Structure 1
């Protein structure tokens, strides 16, 4: 097999193993980085959910007094109903707004819970490990009546041919 740098020199078995080990390490690091990125997406969705719940609480707490008074007096001026009924309608409108914000929070919480980002990466890593675990080395045939060195030489020729065909 030729050197990736293009020097035309052959690599030793140790260099090939070192190269394979380095590439395997890079693959593992890349899969860990992918898992982190997918986990960040799920955490972001959970953050949006928490923010929507917080907004619902803030709307309910801080806007009720002012909005209730303004809405109640507006309903009273428009309809002429008793002031207590107008205040109840004002409160119902504020509860409706808070309920809609809470519903948005529930939707985003379900999306964050369904997010299977890291699970996909773990499954991919397991699949890669299974493929590598089932990989078998190329059978090295020994020609009858020839020394083992001749068989190794023919294997080197096969490796060079495969290297040229995949390049």
Structure 2
């Protein structure tokens, strides 16, 4: 379910303690209106049994709303902003995105989210089309010319679930 209101964000935030859970980062073409993040979140809610249906896709307007409200930032454990780092500045938005990613069970489709979480190993990175920078940092790269648009989200969700199963096997060994 894409998050379109702060109420939906609060439901996700309070649903369960999932700090440390994985998250999905999408890189889509700038003119893409496919809603792939919302579709991936819906599929993961259906097929990721360990998440308890707590996957969401967070939109850029919600990130801005959280960043601009001190009470919302405090809910995520983000310290008060300063003049050197206004809450809706690039760095302020990165802090919000990073805090949401640390919580897990979220699907992002935002270049700033890719940047804010680049070193976090809990993030599964999927690109629709060749990414502009560091393509080897992506787990999967799909060519939109070779797949129907409705196939992209299931391919990403399935690849993520396989990635998670492989990670669990590695840690169990």
TM-score (norm 2): 0.24
Q: Say which structure is richer in strand.
A: 2
Q: Which has the higher helix share?
A: 1
Q: Name the TM-score, length of structure 1 as normaliser.
A: 0.24
Structure number, greater radius of gyration: 1
